[in-house]
Amino acid sequence: MSSEIVKIPAGKGYYTDFQLAIAMVFIAIFMILLQYLGSLPAWLYRVPEEIIPNFAQWLDVIFNFVKDDLGVLVFTRFLTGGLEWLLDFSANVFFGKRRFPNVGPMPWTAVAAVAAVIGYYLGGWKLALLGGGTMVWTALIGQWKIAMQTMSVLTIAAPLAFAIGLSLGVAAWKYPWVDRVIKPILSVLQTLPFFTYLLPAVIFFKVGPTAGAVATTIYAIPPMILMTTLGLKKVSSEVIEAGKMSGCTRGQMLRHVYIPSARTEILVGVNQVIMLCLAMVVLTAFIGMPGLGAKLLAMMGSFKLGRSFEIGVTIVLLAVMLDRMSKAWVIKQPEHFERGTPLWKRHSMLLLGLAVFVGFTLLSLVIPFLAEVGRGQNFSQGKELDNIIKGFLNIEWVKVTTGFLRAFLNVQVLIPFRNFLLSIPTPGFILLVVAFALSIAGRKEAIFALIFFSLVALSGWWDRAIITLYSVISAVILAALIGLPVGIFAARSVKWSERVLLICDTAQTFPSFVYLIPAIMLFGITDIAVIFSILIFAMVPLTRYTIEGLRTVPQEMTEAADMSGATRIQKLWSVQLPLALPTMAVGFNQAIMFAFFMVIIAAFIGTQDLGQELQRTLAGTDLGKNFVLGICVSLMALTFDFTIMKWAADKKKMLGLA
Amino acid sequence: MSIDIPVISCKNVWKIFGPDPKKFLNNMSDDMTFEEIRAAGYISGVRDVSIDVNKGEMLVIMGLSGSGKSTLVRCFSRLHDVTGGTIAVEGQDIVSMSENDLIELRRSKMGMVFQSFGLLPHRTVLQNVAFPLEMRGQDKHTRRERALEVVKLVGLEGREDYFPRELSGGQQQRVGIARSLAIEPDIWFLDEPFSALDPLIRKEMQDEFLRLQQMLNKTIVFITHDFDEALRLADRIAIMKDGAVEQCDTPDQIVLHPATDYVRKFTEDIDKARVVHAGVLTQKGVVGEGDALDAMTTVHDMARMLVNDSREMIPVKNGDSLIGAMPRKDALDILLGSEKNEF
């Protein structure tokens, strides 16, 4: 398979990358034609079963060795003890699990009031309303307990991820070798499907909240490391020198100079940790973690769309609240008090928070409704919403549209496309991918593509990998068809740019899981629903980076175009789009990464791709297979990531934008 | 400590940036120029500098950006490790000093002011000023007391609880100055302290600085790229180019006898009359007639007298004792330019 590639440069001397790529495409086409004519030998169509190495079994052997012989399991189970204690503690405080310290649960009114005070402290009335409002909604809709189950894990996992991420970030900044070790691990971790985090967590840390907390923590660590290193590197040299001239020891430098000066980046890291934790904690429902995710899973499974929708709203509100508050914290700067301000005034917010907490707690002793919204007291409208949704779907034009999309798109476009991809012989497919990487990025990326896709071929999961890829590609193309025009349109005015960017920002904070809700609502449990959920998820970065790319085109250039007498369309095509392209490529890349992420979650709806198999492994303890599948997804994602990012970087350099 | 040991004494100091500077310096021939070194992939930040700074003296290091002046000062305080040569501070070799001794030295003897202030953004004025004291472990009460004292000294009373970002540039630099003075250092490094300020504030800060220096009388190394500032403040000026010191002398000598073409170019547009003092033009042992001039009077200050007077030799005194006499023509030449330059 690889012999063709090697032969060409060796035999005839020098070829440009582009010529090589063309040659590969021709060979691939030739193979496809042979396949259609029925004269391609079977061993060239798919890697024969006999020679597929049993990676899963090897990995199992390694895992078992690590787990049992090295005694790691004993160690992790020991850690489990401590973590379990912490989780029980927060579980008691948040929703009254009968464990030490046996004081909980906190009355919902008290929590809501404190959320409002924190919101007010960080960002004034708007955030106070958001914080308090979210909590009141959650309680009144009857989801207080499950929401607090989620929050109780979040309050343990997020600080843990913060602490670990910060320490690793500092280490990576201080010791170059740590940086060199961590970097490749981080890029794999960031493309690894989340199911791959879950199973090891279950095996090493038991089912339930503990495993959920571990998976969540690990999932949220990478951005914290990156932001910490970034922040520390950005501390101005004069501040560092001022610290040294003040006679700081190394420890003092870190504690008093570096970390406080990197505050902004570190807090941005905190924001990302919180958001990723929330996204993941919802997904840990798949390994039996109770909370909002589990409830949503159950409701969607039994097609109770009204209730699903309500839970979705709760998750979204929580996400937006946490995001806005942590972002407000990033930009909040210390203010001085006038001399002689009394102590109580300096700490007025803290005191107010305590006062409302104590006040509402006492009040709830008298009025039980303020402590807990009982069964039957909530305002959930699940059934009514169900009817509304059904009514909406039965409106003639809606029915026609979804029906048409389902019939036409699926039967005429998507399924033929999928079948075509599946019909391409494995070596031909790899050649096409390598040619793609070679022509737009370079030889290094092409070699990575070759190695990565060959590994996928050897994993024995080729067909499912192709179906995964098919979902990703079709969803991203469809997302581009909608997202790019929206972005281009919005970029025409400042007002619309801001509006659409705000929507994108907000949408990006939603845990991916909630994107399934509208998809199922509109299309039921079908292939189209899968594509649709990926599509809306992937559209967000596409639109966002299109706007950012177009808006950051230097003004002189658009003015020069205007003065050259370009029409709007001419300006767009020959000035703005070429200059915005590198930025848009970053958005495109992110859309692909998001799509890989979502396609795995969409397995819940029922697909035939790697996600489905991955989800199945969770039921057993098929650790080896779980890893093989996860790494297949990661390898495919990394191929695109390397190639597109390299292209964008080259292009930026060429245009002098970097 | 005896007065004749220089506070800072550096001999043949080299600072080279690049992949393996020590090895490069050892194998390098002595007469390599700045460009030749750069062609080899190295940057010579400081080239073979030997300079002494005496007690109570203000040495101004002057040069364009990239001339190595900041690098040299960072070698004095060992913010940079030198590549070759020796630097002694009060007789102590700092090149081979251990990290702990170095920290101790900085905590007790050195203060530094930075161009962009280098204030810690999360600390108030008072906390910034008290920072060096906190680092050396002084208790809260004494360090607060001392910090208040210095804040008052630089005229920032009433702003103790402000954060740096709430202050103007000039005020921020006052904080920087206060911080550098908090430990009562013997040696005071100032790295272009007023360059980031607008011209009016700069003048005000220079006056403030001179006032402080008259009170404190510290050994100072002051960096600037502004020749006027250098002339205004310096006891001695060292002019640097491409990492090497072109000339190091008193302002009068630099203006009157530039050592190289480069220095001459620098001094061309300077109003020499405002720089040169009577004392420099005085011929020792010669007796003049009439009233004596003070040695510290600049030519500019005596201009009116020079034009109206008719004496050939004007006596000059230092304090109360006569030291000699100054030829009126020499002073006039400086004021009006020498005769041959007129045509």
What's the distance, Cα to Cα, between the start and end of chain B in Å? 55
**Interface contact flag, B120 A263, Cβ < 8 Å:** no
3-state secondary structure of B305: helix
Q: Which residue of A has its CA nearest to B157?
A: A339
How many separate helices (H) and strands (E) can be counted in chain B? 15, 14
| Residue B338 pLDDT class (50, 70, 90 cuts) | low
CB A461 within 8 A of CB A453: no
- Judge: A333–B163 Cβ closer than 8 Å, yes or no: yes
Distance CA B308, CA A198 (A): 98
CB contact under 8 A, B162 and A247: no
CB B72 within 8 A of CB B240: yes
DSSP letters, A319-367, are: HHHHHHHHHHHHH----PPPTT--HHHHTHHHHHHHHHHHHHHHHHHH-
Predicted local confidence at residue B312, as pLDDT: 85
- Of B115, B135, B160, Cβ closest to residue A247: B135
- pLDDT tens by residue, A178-215: 999 998 898 888 878 777 788 888 878 877 788 889 99
Which of the residue ranges A21-30, A378-387, B50-59 would you say has the lowest mean pLDDT? A378-387
Distance CA A387, CA A400 (A): 19
Residue A241: closest C-alpha in chain B: B79
- Inform me whether the pLDDT recorded for A10 exceeds 50: no
Give the gap in angstroms from C-alpha B161 to the nearest C-alpha of chain A: 6
- The encoded tokens of residue A89 equal 């503690």
pLDDT at B137 over 50: yes
Interface of B with A (CB under 8 A): 74, 77, 79, 103-104, 106-107, 110-112, 114-124, 131-132, 134-136, 158, 160-163, 165-166, 176, 179-180, 183, 189
Instruction: Give yes or no for residue B342 having a pLDDT over 50.
Output: no
Summarize pLDDT for A556-570 with one digit per residue, the tens: 888 888 888 888 888
Alpha-carbon gap: A402 to the closest alpha carbon of chain B (Å): 56
State whether A241 and B165 contact (CB < 8 Å). no
A329 CA: distance to closest CA in chain B (Å) = 14
Binary contact (B163, A261; C-beta < 8 A): no
Record: contact B112-A238, CB cut-off 8 A: no
Q: For A91-139, how does the pLDDT look when each residue is reduced to its tens digit (9 = 90+)?
A: 888 888 887 787 878 899 999 999 999 999 999 999 999 999 999 999 9
Q: Flag if B106 and A244 touch (Cβ within 8 Å).
A: yes
Residues in chain A closer than 8 A to B111 (CB atoms): 245
d(CA A252, CA A560): 53
List residues of A whose CB lies inside 8 A of any B CB. 236, 238-239, 241-249, 252, 256-257, 260-261, 263, 333-339
Angstrom CA distances, A379 to A95, A136, A150, B56, B129, stand at: 20, 11, 21, 81, 58
What is the reported pLDDT for B94? Answer: 92
Judge whether residue B222 has pLDDT over 90.
Answer: yes
Give the nearest chain B residue to A340 (CA atoms): B161
**Nearest-angstrom CA–CA distance, B146 and A338:** 21
Q: Which of A246, A263, A339 sits opposite B135 (nearest CB)?
A: A246
Q: Which residues of A touch B195 (CB under 8 A)?
A: none
The pLDDT > 70 percentage for chain A reads: 97
Tell me: cis bond preceding A342? Omega within 30 of 0 counts. no
Give yes or no for a contact between B325 and B283, defined as CB atoms under 8 angstroms apart.
Answer: yes
**CB nearest A246 (choices: B131, B158, B163):** B131
The pLDDT value given to residue B29: 81
The answer to whether the Cβ–Cβ distance between A242 and B118 falls below 8 Å is: yes
Distance separating alpha carbons of residues A270 and A263, to the nearest angstrom: 10
Q: Give the CA distances from residue B158 to residues A134, A337, B145, B146, B154, in Å, rounded to whole numbers and listed in that order.
A: 43, 12, 14, 15, 12
Q: Does residue B134 register a pLDDT over 50?
A: yes
Closest to A246 in 3D by CA, of B126, B148, B102: B102
Q: Which residues of B touch A333 (CB under 8 A)?
A: 163, 165
Instruction: Indicate yes or no: CB of B119 within 8 angstroms of CB of A334.
Output: no
A78 or B132, greater pLDDT: B132
Using one digit for the tens of pLDDT, what is the confidence trace for A35-84? 888 888 888 888 888 888 888 888 888 888 887 887 788 888 888 888 88
The strand pair at B244-249 and B43-53 is best described as unpaired
Q: In the beta sheet, which residues pair with residue B8?
A: B53, B89
Residues making up chain B, counted from first to last:
343
Grouping H, G, I as helix, E, B as strand and the rest as coil, residue A613 is helix
Which residues of A fall within a CB distance of 8 Å from B110? 245
Asked if A247's CB is within 8 angstroms of B121's CB, the reply is no
3-state secondary structure of B315: strand
Residues A380, A142: contact at Cβ < 8 Å?
A: yes
Using the beta-carbon criterion (under 8 Å), do B104 and A247 form an inter-chain contact?
yes
How do residues A398-435 score in pLDDT, each as one tens digit?
Answer: 888 888 888 888 888 888 998 999 999 999 999 999 99
Residue in chain A closest to B102 (alpha carbons) equals: A247
For B302, phi then psi, to 5°, come to -100, 10
Q: Which residues in chain A have their CB less than 8 angstroms from residue B163's CB?
A: 333-336
Q: Of B135, B167, B175, B179, which to mutate for an interface test with A (greatest number of A Cβ within 10 Å)?
A: B135
**pLDDT tens digit sequence for A460-469:** 889 889 999 9
Gap between the Cα atoms of B222 and B194, Å rounded: 11
CB B136 within 8 A of CB B100: no
Cα torsion through A180, A185, A190, A193, rounded to 10: 170
Beta pairing class for B110-113 and B219-224: unpaired
Question: φ, ψ for residue B245 (rounded to 5)?
Answer: -85, 120
Q: In the sheet that B283-284 helps form, which strands lie side by side, from edge to edge? A: B283-284, B321-327, B313-318, B293-294
CA distance B104 to chain A (A): 7
Rounded Cα gap, residues B76 and B92, in angstroms: 12
Beta carbons of B79 and A257 less than 8 Å apart? no
- Amino acid A1: pLDDT: 37
Q: Indicate yes or no: CB of B111 within 8 angstroms of CB of A334.
A: no
- Over residues B189-205, the mean pLDDT reads 89
Q: Quick one: pLDDT band at residue B3, thresholds 50, 70, 90? A: low
Asked whether the beta carbons of residue A238 and residue B120 sit closer than 8 angstroms, the reply is no
* Per-position b or e across A41-57, b if 16+ CB within 10 A of its CB: eeebbebeeeeeeebbe
Q: What is the pLDDT of residue A658?
A: 60
Give chain A's mean pLDDT: 87
Which of the four pLDDT bands, split at 50, 70 and 90, describes residue A338?
A: confident
- Mean pLDDT of all residues in chain B? 88
Residues composing chain A:
658
**B136–A247 C-beta distance less than 8 A:** yes
Contact assignment for B118 to A333 by CB distance below 8 Å = no
CA pair distance A120, A54, nearest whole angstrom: 58
Torsions phi, psi for B298 (to 5 deg): -85, 160
Read off the pLDDT of each residue in A599-613 and give the average, rounded to a whole number: 78
Tell me if the pTM is above 0.80.
yes
Q: Do B103 and A248 touch (CB under 8 A)?
A: yes
Q: Which of B103, B111, B158 sits opposite A249 (nearest CB)?
A: B103
